[in-house]
A and B are shown apart, each in its own frame.
Chain A
Amino acid sequence: MISIALLGVLALVAIAPIAIAMSGSPNATGFVYGSCLIVTLILFLIALEILFAHPAASTVVLPLGLPWLGAHFRIDPLAAFFLVVVNLGGAAASLFALGYGRHEETPQRVLPFFPVYLAAMNLVVLADDAFTFLVSWEFMSLTSWALVIAYHRVHDNIRAGYVYLLMASFGTLTLLLAFGLLAGSDGGYAFDAIRNSHPAAGTAALVLILVLIGAGSKAGLVPLHAWLPLAHPAAPSHVSALMSGVMTKVAVYGFIRIAFDLIGQPQWWWSLVVLGVGGVTAVMGVLYALMQRDLKRVLAYSTIENIGLIFASLGLALAFKAYGMNVAAALALTAALLHVFNHSLFKSLLFFGAGSVLSATGTRDMEQLGGLIHKMPQTAFVFLVGCTAIAALPPLNGFVSEWLTFQAILLSPQLPSWGLKLMVPAVGALLALSAALAAACFVRAFGITFLGRSRSPEAAAAQETDTNSLAAMYALAGACLIAGILPGFFIDALAPVVQQLAGGRMPVQLGGEWMSQWTSIVPIAESRSSYNGLLVFAFMFIAGMVTAFAIHRLASDKIRRGPAWGCGYPDASVATQYSASSFAQPIRRVFGSLVFGAREIGTMPPPGSIAPARLTVRLRDLIWDFTYAPIASAVGVIADRLNYLQFLTIRSYLSLVFGALVILLTVLATWP
């Protein structure tokens, strides 16, 4: 199995040179995305097969990489699950790009990197030693960086690429240090050796912090998220979908692999850190998302929110695991993994929708859009499904993972530690707040973009997107619905993964009595809590249908059209509609002054003057201003000071080298 998977990865890599050779040919787009679609589908099926049929791990060692180490690869249930996520997202993106990619102006800047990027993400998940993992990780960063700057003529994109490259290198550096600490002085870099080495408590804690920084910066944890909303929207939309929907999940994989698998038994206070960071990330991410007017940036910030939710669940799982509460840990971990899967579905779907809007109207600025539901009814429909799912509304899938998280929180009073007793309810409140704000955010995103009247001639002239793109979006929307109404199936599929990591599993969901248990999910016991997505969906559907039928038959089914009522004030200009900024104004007023230092300055002209009144809104990114900006300016100042080192004589350089050597030898000699 694993050799077939590696062959698939090799095939993906092999597509790249063919893409370069074909550059300029009109068939290149179809070939690259078509073959990516086939290969990722095969990899997806292999991963499914392993997850369901062969939970035992299989390994292979190839004579590549470091001579004394080789390249270890391994598929266990955890890797298989993430392979499913990566390749499902990859297949959907390839299918979407079969249509979307034809609008590309410079396909040769995207086509060679796309398959390699997919291959790199697969390799990170397959890697079974630190060296292979880090090389694949860096490979993933570099290929995605190349895709981020594909439209390099837009100035902002170059800056986005620069920030991304810096943060990616920083993240890899911390991961490198983490693996260095894990491997110990004898350098056992294979994951098997690390797993058996049991680091000391202090080392393990340091490793956890380093991994949280390294994987967290890739995933977008606050305050390491700064690159994400710049880089994800800058890439072509199918790549944005992969970066947001899939690559952040690969980062989550990195965290889970190290924190739950390699590092051994966790300590309870680790979970405090992870929980706190997760909760804050969730709320900050969605608040930022609410303030944006660029549709793709809204989606990128919402990714940060969802990553926060995932990390909060992971934190809970760590807490339960630290105290040996395996069933509760399994519940929290299932919630996190299910959200990983769900988010990869609906975030890809939403980015595809945003891409379709972008190619139909030429803009991502929501203030220029509006009324697209009339021009692009199908895109609007699938985008609405995605919005409902990500807003955690039943009966779609986003709600299921959120519900499981809340059920896990309700188990946490049994935790003995006082710190956790205070932290968990606070994080619960933060997650509840972020869920409610996410609903507001996606009412805004959908309402401003697709509803109302067109705010620009481009939006008024938009046309429905092509069939390939629609097929990809419909497939994902269908998956969102299925995962929402039959969650028991997915929870059972996650059981081997959870068993491996948490040492326990949730009760079997499928296979009970039909109706009362078959489609319900029951985390602990039925008297305690249960949720049946299928029945909620069926009830709502039947109730709505029966009502519609009865009313149309028995009462009235006539429709007249007229101008909008609007309390009798005719709104001739489309500018009188609520805009993205005005929609967010109440929330900006409630949360903004604290989080963004928001200021609204209104200037009224003096009486008699015909000058317009002005309202200026100032938002500050406090995280950028207080962390990144000082670091950047400090680096600048230090660079200026050290500048004179460039103009020394040869003697000074030699004496510097000598001095450095002496210091290093002294350190080495006195090292304990």
Chain B
Amino acid sequence: MAVITDFALQGAQMLLVLLMAPLLTGFVRKVKARLLSRQGPPLLQPYRDLIRLLRKDVVLANNASWLFRVIPYVVFAATWVAASLIPTFRSGLLFSWTADLIAIIAVLGSARFFLALAGMDAGTSFGGIGSSREVMIASLAEPAMLMIVFVIALIAGSTQLSTMAAFMNSADVGLRVSLGLALIALIIVAVAENARIPVDNPATHLELTMVHEAMVLEYSGRHLALIELAASLKLLLYVSLIACLFAPWGISPAIAAPTLLLIGAAAYAGKIAALGFLLAVFETSIAKMRAFRVPEFLGAALMLALLATLLRFVSRSF
């Protein structure tokens, strides 16, 4: 019986992230539009877009290879698996020990690796520019992310997300300089990883400054739908990660009554909405930066995270 409940909860988590991801994207778009005094698309527009794209034929470039057709599934699967391993409403899910936070970051790295390859497959200059800038951004964002993981892992004594969330929820944490630095760095990394303003503009086309959109320019139909969904999942993943590590209140423990699960779910929805709102406010209040300012922005995250790690190594109390 317990095993069945565990499986059901793990399945619920997988479905939950899959269903919520487009909603979060739609919500951020809506808030951004309202902040700009526009009506904005309805909240459910991303779902409609996905369904429309799924029904359309795929138009492949003449020299697109088999890899180009496989990659959307790989990217989607990797992102989905990574997103379902982050504790959302309940920690200690059945498969939570499958991958710790370092491994989750690396699974996302796999998705990015293949997406960058997809950009180069058609042999257009736009795909190349997207891929080359994406790997440049990743080459700074990934080490920054790893250093952030180090900081929190050193504080919590674990890289296992459930343990980390439990520790961050306990009274032992307190206010720490290193955690503050790590939070700022994590926000910068999350903004860059999800191709949000000021690093990249998710709404742009036909501009030499675009990165993510240039990389997936040749995709259409169901392939594009999967890539869009993966991008939404990734946004949800990072928001959930910030919520799980820095606002772990309400996450239900591994053995809990159904009421606690409900509280966990409600708390999760509230946290995601709040963070989505903050993201929209942040994006509307800042301009996109030039591509070669991005390394400085991300370099700051890397330095902050490194500083936080050094502080942790030097003293336990920071």
Binding site for B on A (CB under 8 A): 370-371, 373-374, 377, 380, 384, 388, 391-394, 399, 403, 406-407, 409-410, 412-413, 421-422, 424-426, 428-429, 432-433, 435-437, 439-440, 442-444, 446-448, 451-453, 516, 520, 526-532, 535-536, 539-541, 543-544, 547-548, 551, 555-556, 558-567, 569, 571, 574, 576-578, 582-587, 589-590
Q: Which residue of B lies closest to A544 (CB)?
A: B77
Q: A546 to nearest B CB, angstroms?
A: 9
A578→B128 contact, CB < 8 A: yes
- The residues in B between 85 and 119 inclusive whose CB is less than 8 angstroms from any CB of A are 95, 97-100, 102-103, 106-107, 109-110, 112-113, 116-117, 119
A528→B158 contact, CB < 8 A: yes
- C-alpha gap A425/B311 in the complex (Å): 10
Q: Which residue of A lies closest to B316 (CB)?
A: A413
A532→B97 contact, CB < 8 A: yes
Task: Known A393-B113, A394-B99, A532-B99; judge A440-B135 contact (CB<8 A).
Answer: yes
Q: Give the chain A neighbours of B61 by CB distance below 8 A.
A: 561-565
Other-chain contact of B77, A433, A443, A543, A560 (Cβ < 8 Å): A543
Q: Which residue of B lies closest to A428 (CB)?
A: B150
Bits for B287-301, please: 1 = Cβ < 8 Å to A, else 0. Answer: 000011001000000
A566→B150 contact, CB < 8 A: no
Q: Which residue of A lies closest to B130 (CB)?
A: A578
Q: Give the chain A neighbours of B65 by CB distance below 8 A.
A: 373-374, 377, 380, 451
- C-alpha gap A562/B113 in the complex (Å): 26
Q: A592 to nearest B CB, angstroms?
A: 12
Other-chain contact of A590, B136, B221, B222 (Cβ < 8 Å): B136
B74→A540 contact, CB < 8 A: yes
Task: Known A527-B158, A535-B98; judge A566-B124 contact (CB<8 A).
Answer: yes
Q: Give the chain B neighbours of A555 by CB distance below 8 A.
A: 54-55, 222
Ranked nearest first, the 10 interchain pairs of A and B with the lowest CB-CB distance are A578-B128, A452-B123, A447-B120, A564-B61, A586-B136, A544-B77, A432-B143, A440-B135, A436-B142, A453-B123
Q: Give the chain A neighbours of B285 by CB distance below 8 A.
A: none
Binding site for A on B (CB under 8 A): 54-67, 73-74, 76-78, 80-81, 95, 97-100, 102-103, 106-107, 109-110, 112-113, 116-117, 119-129, 131-133, 135-136, 138-143, 146-147, 150, 153-154, 157-160, 163, 205-206, 217-218, 220-222, 226, 291-292, 295, 302, 306, 309-310, 312-314, 316
Q: Give the chain A neighbours of B60 by CB distance below 8 A.
A: 559-562
A451→B117 contact, CB < 8 A: yes
Q: Which residue of B lies closest to A539 (CB)?
A: B81
A-B contact pairs, 18 of them (CB 8 A): A374-B65, A391-B113, A393-B113, A394-B107, A394-B110, A435-B142, A446-B117, A528-B163, A539-B98, A547-B73, A547-B76, A556-B221, A559-B60, A560-B59, A562-B60, A566-B122, A578-B128, A585-B132
Q: Give the chain A neighbours of B146 by CB distance below 8 A.
A: 406, 428-429, 432, 435
A439→B138 contact, CB < 8 A: yes
- C-alpha gap A569/B120 in the complex (Å): 16
- C-alpha gap A453/B222 in the complex (Å): 24
Other-chain contact of A377, B66, B131, B292, B302 (Cβ < 8 Å): B66
Q: Give the chain A neighbours of B81 by CB distance below 8 A.
A: 536, 539-540, 543
- C-alpha gap A370/B80 in the complex (Å): 31
B143→A429 contact, CB < 8 A: yes
- C-alpha gap A239/B122 in the complex (Å): 34
Q: B165 to nearest A CB, angstroms?
A: 12
Q: Give the chain B neighbours of A392 by CB distance below 8 A.
A: 106, 109
A544→B73 contact, CB < 8 A: yes
- C-alpha gap A549/B311 in the complex (Å): 50
Q: Give the chain B neighbours of A452 by CB distance below 8 A.
A: 63, 120-123, 128
Q: Which residue of A lies closest to B220 (CB)?
A: A565
A577→B160 contact, CB < 8 A: no
Q: Give the chain A neighbours of B160 by CB distance below 8 A.
A: 526-530
A406→B102 contact, CB < 8 A: yes
Task: Known A388-B110, A527-B158, A586-B136; judge A571-B125 contact (CB<8 A).
Answer: yes
Q: Give the chain B neighbours of A516 by CB distance below 8 A.
A: 97
Q: Give the chain B neighbours of A590 by CB distance below 8 A.
A: 136, 139-140, 295
Apart from A443-B120, A451-B67: 9 A-B pairs, beta carbons within 8 A? A424-B313, A425-B309, A443-B117, A447-B119, A532-B97, A535-B95, A565-B218, A578-B120, A586-B135
A422→B313 contact, CB < 8 A: yes
B109→A410 contact, CB < 8 A: no
Q: Which of A371, A422, A541, A567 has the most CB of B within 10 A?
A: A567
- C-alpha gap A529/B129 in the complex (Å): 38
Q: Give the chain A neighbours of B313 by CB distance below 8 A.
A: 412-413, 421-422, 424-425
Q: Give the chain A neighbours of B316 by CB distance below 8 A.
A: 413
How many A-B residue pairs have C-beta atoms within 8 angstroms? Tell me.
Answer: 292
B57→A410 contact, CB < 8 A: no
Q: Give the chain B neighbours of A448 by CB distance below 8 A.
A: 120
Q: B76 to nearest A CB, angstroms?
A: 6
A567→B205 contact, CB < 8 A: yes
Q: Which of A526, A555, A563 has the most CB of B within 10 A?
A: A555
Q: Give the chain B neighbours of A556 by CB distance below 8 A.
A: 54-58, 221-222
B106→A436 contact, CB < 8 A: no
B314→A421 contact, CB < 8 A: yes
Q: B158 to nearest A CB, angstroms?
A: 5
Q: Give the chain B neighbours of A373 by CB distance below 8 A.
A: 65-67, 121
Q: Give the chain A neighbours of B128 by CB distance below 8 A.
A: 452, 577-578, 582-583
B106→A399 contact, CB < 8 A: yes
- C-alpha gap A540/B114 in the complex (Å): 14
Other-chain contact of A422, B67, B142, B221, B310 (Cβ < 8 Å): B310
Task: Known A535-B95, A567-B206; judge A561-B310 contact (CB<8 A).
Answer: no
- C-alpha gap A582/B128 in the complex (Å): 9
Q: Which of A392, A516, A541, A565 has the most CB of B within 10 A?
A: A565
Task: Known A452-B120, A543-B81; judge A371-B63 contact (CB<8 A).
Answer: yes
Q: Give the chain A neighbours of B112 by CB distance below 8 A.
A: 439
Q: A80 to nearest B CB, angstroms?
A: 30
Q: Which of B78, B98, B218 has the most CB of A within 10 A?
A: B98
Task: Known A406-B146, A571-B123; judge A547-B226 contact (CB<8 A).
Answer: yes
B154→A413 contact, CB < 8 A: yes
Task: Known A556-B58, A566-B124, A567-B206; judge A536-B103 contact (CB<8 A).
Answer: yes
B121→A433 contact, CB < 8 A: no
- C-alpha gap A120/B20 in the complex (Å): 61
Q: B27 to nearest A CB, angstroms?
A: 24
- C-alpha gap A273/B239 in the complex (Å): 40
Task: Known A394-B107, A535-B95, A543-B80; judge A529-B121 contact (CB<8 A).
Answer: no
- C-alpha gap A166/B283 in the complex (Å): 58
Q: Which of B55, B106, B119 has the most CB of A within 10 A?
A: B106
- C-alpha gap A409/B81 in the complex (Å): 26
Q: Give the chain A neighbours of B292 by CB distance below 8 A.
A: 586, 589
Q: Give the chain A neighbours of B220 by CB distance below 8 A.
A: 565
Q: B70 to nearest A CB, angstroms?
A: 8
Q: Give the chain A neighbours of B98 by CB distance below 8 A.
A: 520, 530-532, 535-536, 539
- C-alpha gap A432/B309 in the complex (Å): 13
Q: Give the chain A neighbours of B109 by CB distance below 8 A.
A: 391-393, 436, 439
Q: A217 to nearest B CB, angstroms?
A: 28
- C-alpha gap A314/B294 in the complex (Å): 35
Q: Give the chain B neighbours of A409 by CB distance below 8 A.
A: 150
Other-chain contact of A564, B80, B122, B302 (Cβ < 8 Å): B122
A429→B309 contact, CB < 8 A: yes
- C-alpha gap A531/B95 in the complex (Å): 11
B150→A565 contact, CB < 8 A: no
